[in-house]
C-alpha cells in the first residue's frame, strides 16, 4: 500500500478467508501447499541425521 488513503482489502483474518474463497475458490487456499510440504519434508529428512551427527560429536569431544 503505497498510498496512505488506500482502503485495505481485508478487515480481519475471517474476512480475508471468506473473500479469497468467494473470489478465487476454495482451491486458492491450498495453492502453495505442495512446495511448503516439500520444504518441510526435506527439512525433516535432513534434521534427523544432522542431530545425530552433532550429538555424537558433542559427546565424543565432551563439549557441553
Count of domains forming the chain: 2
Residues 24 and 44 placed together within one structural domain of the fold: no
Range of the domain at 24: 1-31
Whether 59 shows a pLDDT value over 90: the answer reads no
- Name the nearest CA neighbour of 28 among 18, 37, 38: 18
Q: φ, ψ for residue 44 (rounded to 5)?
A: -65, -40
Residues 43 and 25 placed together within one structural domain of the fold: no
Dihedral sign for Cα 51, 55, 56, 58, please.
positive
Tens-place pLDDT, residues 4-35: 778 888 999 999 999 999 999 999 988 889 99
Residues 59 and 45 placed together within one structural domain of the fold: yes
* pTM flag (> 0.75): no
Determine the average pLDDT of the residues in 30-58: 89
Whether 61 shows a pLDDT value over 90: the answer reads no
Residues 11 and 26 placed together within one structural domain of the fold: yes
Residues 41 and 17 placed together within one structural domain of the fold: no
Residues 4 and 27 placed together within one structural domain of the fold: yes
Say what the pLDDT of residue 5 is. Answer: 79
Amino acid at each position: 500500500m503505497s498510498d496512505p488513503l488506500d482502503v485495505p482489502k481485508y478487515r480481519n483474518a475471517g474476512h480475508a478467508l471468506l473473500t479469497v474463497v468467494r473470489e478465487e475458490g476454495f482451491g486458492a487456499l491450498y495453492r502453495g501447499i505442495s512446495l511448503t510440504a516439500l520444504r518441510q519434508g526435506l527439512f525433516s529428512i535432513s534434521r534427523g541425521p544432522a542431530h545425530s551427527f552433532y550429538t555424537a560429536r558433542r559427546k565424543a569431544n565432551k563439549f557441553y
